[in-house]
């Protein structure tokens, strides 16, 4: 059972009671992420704040926060995306009061002590270095920078060495003041939790001043066609090839889910079978959808030896072209529907995943979407729906290729990579 309450200050509280679970997952979701940062002086500050909220409050030290959640066998963590930031805890149901108190304390009473700012700055600089040393992670940031060129969606969530080095506690507090408004906050909980009991625990959040929603408005990005090469002495050529995708609320989003499943999600997908199983050209090859409020992308990743990289790229392009030119056989579409539905239903055995789904459906649709509604929409997708969506999305005007490794000799450019 899903229940929703809106506080007078605008915070939305959504919970799902799952009595057979012993756990509760609760998250505070803020509709503010790296997309909403100013180009100068704020790149990566959302992620920086996410780190700093665990580094001490007026009541607790950073060590005290860590020891308190560990002492009940729970998890306390956070993550930043391009459009939101989430602070969450997962605990046994009897420890929910402690988890809520911790979340309220770090969100409303963090002190941003100078010494903690300096320590965490170094941690994040090491995190940036770690990504730079991990090519199969870095390639995705390089791709999105090229795909959403000159737009906030193309910036790395973590920021840059220069931006992170400039942050101060005062700047972080000012950003919180401008962006963490109750009207942009959702608190979601799932597990063995009673909604009325949860509301009583959340009374401290009602004290947040209503104010206005964040002052930064979103601009709609435009993707651009490009081939970018990043020369590095690596054993493999890492590549991302992508084109336009779907937004969270796209009317054909269910066709998009299944199209991506067919293309590169799982061992039976077309890309995996053709590139890895049939030809042995790559160990890792997959596709994914990256959806945002008003736009999205579909991206294929692969890692291959330098001499075979062009062949892999041509095979990826051929599979994209095939989706926009040939109807998917009915039994293949049915198998993709079963694959997607099965993974989705298995994910709901976790209170954390259920909490996340509650928050995201509220963020994007303003309501809970029943499981059966989603499953029914997937079952309604036809081969013509896939063909139509692929025809709309797979356009040379937005086709972007990013390569990293020993790439100077890969015989490809923007003129030879085409879906027409």
> What is the per-residue DSSP string for 350-367?
SHHHHHHHHHHHHHHHSS
The angle formed by the CA atoms of residues 98, 104 and 107, to the nearest 5 degrees, is 140
Sequence-distant (6+) residues with CB within 8 A of 126 are none
* Catalytic choice (50, 83, 120, 362): 50
Alpha-carbon dihedral sign for residues 321, 395, 291, 354: negative
**Cα–Cα distance for residue pair 160/261, rounded to 1 Å:** 33
Sheet holding 296-304, edge to edge: 226-231, 400-405, 237-244, 296-304, 285-291
Extract long-range pairs of 251-256: CB within 8 Å, 24+ residues apart.
Answer: 252/385, 252/388, 252/389, 252/392, 253/291, 254/374, 254/377, 254/378, 254/380, 254/381, 255/381, 255/385, 255/386, 255/388, 255/389, 256/289, 256/298, 256/389
Q: Provide the sign of the torsion angle of the four alpha carbons 309, 310, 314, 315, taken in this order.
A: negative
39-59 in b/e burial notation, b at 16+ Cβ within 10 A?
Answer: eeebbbbbbbbbbbbbbbbee
How many angstroms separate the CA atoms of 76 and 408, rounded? 45
50 is catalytic: yes
Q: What is the CA radius of gyration of the chain?
A: 23
Query: CB of 407 within 8 A of CB of 309?
Result: yes
Active-site residue list:
50
């Amino acid at each position: 059972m899903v229940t929703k309450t809106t506080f007078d200050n605008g915070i939305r509280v959504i919970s799902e009671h799952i009595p057979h679970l012993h756990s509760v997952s609760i998250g505070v979701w803020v509709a503010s992420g790296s997309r909403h940062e100013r180009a100068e002086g704020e790149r990566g500050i959302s992620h920086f704040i996410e780190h700093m909220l665990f580094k001490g409050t007026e009541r607790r030290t950073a060590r005290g926060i860590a020891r308190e959640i560990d002492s009940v066998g729970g998890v306390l963590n956070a993550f930043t995306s391009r459009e939101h930031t989430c602070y969450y805890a997962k605990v046994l149901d009897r420890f929910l009061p402690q988890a809520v108190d911790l979340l309220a304390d770090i969100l409303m009473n963090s002190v941003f002590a100078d010494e903690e700012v300096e320590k965490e700055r170094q941690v994040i600089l090491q995190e940036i270095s770690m990504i730079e040393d991990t090519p199969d992670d870095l390639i995705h940031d390089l791709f999105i920078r090229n795909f959403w060129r000159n737009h906030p969606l193309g910036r790395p969530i973590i920021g840059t060495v220069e931006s992170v080095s400039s942050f101060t506690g005062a700047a972080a507090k000012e950003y919180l003041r401008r962006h963490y408004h109750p009207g942009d906050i959702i608190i979601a909980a799932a597990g063995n939790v009673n909604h009325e009991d949860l509301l009583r625990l959340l009374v401290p959040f009602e004290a947040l001043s209503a104010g206005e929603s964040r002052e930064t408005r979103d601009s709609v990005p435009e993707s651009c066609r490009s081939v970018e090469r990043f020369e590095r002495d690596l054993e493999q050529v890492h590549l991302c090839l992508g084109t336009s995708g779907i937004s969270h609320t796209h009317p054909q989003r269910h066709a998009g889910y299944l199209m991506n499943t067919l293309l590169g999600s799982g061992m039976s997908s077309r890309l995996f079978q053709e590139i890895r199983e049939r030809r042995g050209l790559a160990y890792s090859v997959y596709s994914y959808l990256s959806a945002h409020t008003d736009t999205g992308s579909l991206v294929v990743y692969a890692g291959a030896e330098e001499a075979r990289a062009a062949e892999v790229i041509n095979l990826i392009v051929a599979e994209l072209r095939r989706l926009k030119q040939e109807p998917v056989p009915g039994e293949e579409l049915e198998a993709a529907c079963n694959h997607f539905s099965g993974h989705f239903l298995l994910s709901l055995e976790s209170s954390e995943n259920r909490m996340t789904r509650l928050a995201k459906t509220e963020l994007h649709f303003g309501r809970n979407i029943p499981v059966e509604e989603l499953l029914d929409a997937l079952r309604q997708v036809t081969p013509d729906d896939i063909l139509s969506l692929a025809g709309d999305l797979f356009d040379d005007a937005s086709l972007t290729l990013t390569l990293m490794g020993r790439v100077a000799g890969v015989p490809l450019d923007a003129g030879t990579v085409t879906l027409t």
